[in-house]
Amino acid sequence: MPKSGSRFLALALSVTFGVALWSPACSDEASSTRAAETSEQPAVSFSHEPNVLHIEIGGRRFADYVYADQEITRPYFTHVTTPASIRVTRNHPPNEGSDLVDHAMMHPGIWMAFGDLSGNDYWRLKAKVEHEMFTGAPKGGRGKGAFGVRNYFLKSGTTDRIASEEASYTILVTPEGYLLLWDTTFAPYGEADEIVFGDQEEMGLGIRLQTRLAEQFGGALTDAEGRTGAEKIWSTQSDWVDYSGTFEGKWIGMTVMPHPANFRKSWYHARDYGFTAANPFGRAAMKAGPKSEVTVRKGETLRLRYGVLIHSADSKQETDTAAAYQRYLTTAGRE
């Protein structure tokens, strides 16, 4: 099993479902209600062009999933849009004069990367993540769409594959907003006997918001414990962190929700310029304890799951992040 320091980490890989009493009448009524709700939801649909999967909801752009890019050498979601059709991620590439332009290529929207995976730096684009194929063909429908991919992590400066990644992505239309379910599994590949996830700030799942949503321009960072602001949230652990603000007359933002069955709770690398990352690896980097090394040996896997809520409302008071988190747990399974 994966190893952190001297401790072996058990990974919960099963999904459990609640059990309820059943009767034909109740079942028919519940089925009819679900069918009616589904029929009223906008459809999630997909279209392809080379290296990009376009995702629409209700005929309007939701996001682009870019799986091959000569400059950004790892897959990512970009041009992410709220239910109010407002772009919530920073313009990509950033617009000089209206956007903060730091980390222009490293922060394209929503992504997962690692600054140290067996000594290779995929976060800073010094090593490549190679898309091999879609393992699950993009499938859309009313209120839901999904697809799966297989990627390989290449040793820096070579074409040698050291790790595989099997990832599945599900997009759901919910009362709280669009919910992106992120479920990915890593394993050593080829001649690699093991892979080691190192200890850095730049590890895990990251988001970059519209510049005007950044805390330094009036945006708000909040976590499940009620802490506010990047300074208070940086290096803490919480069920979720929300980054939101007013833009184009709406309260919009994104909420990052690490799954509780991940091998370890995530610390948040929160910054006031519109960025945060959920990082379960950087214990020492986040000033939370001794240096961490998470080792996955041949024949073992490491599974990571996250939810990302993309939301919009007329006001902050109309958002219900706690309800969205419970919906995520119910949908993804609590174990």
Can you give the residue ranges of every domain in the chain?
A: 3-10+41-332
How is residue 133 written in tokens? 């194929």
pLDDT at 38: 58
pLDDT at 21: 29
pLDDT at 39: 65
pLDDT at 89: 98
Q: Taking Cα atoms as reference points, which of 85, 33, 34, 76 lies closest to residue 57?
A: 85
pLDDT at 11: 34
pLDDT at 335: 85
Examine residue 2 and say whether the peptide bond preceding it is cis (omega within 30 degrees of 0). no
Compute CA distances 40 → 37, 55, 82, 101, 173, whole Å: 5, 19, 18, 40, 11
Could you count the other beta carbons within 10 Å of the beta carbon of residue 231?
12
Residue 162 · residue 120 · CB < 8 Å: yes
Residues of the chain falling short of pLDDT 50: 1-36
Span 300-330, pLDDT tens digits: 999 999 999 999 999 999 999 999 999 999 9
How is residue 45 written in tokens? 């649909």
Cα(239)–Cα(202) distance, integer angstroms:
19
The domain over range 3-10+41-332 is classified in CATH as 3.30.2000 = no
Which H or E run includes 113?
A: strand 110-114
Indicate whether this model's pTM tops 0.75. Answer: yes
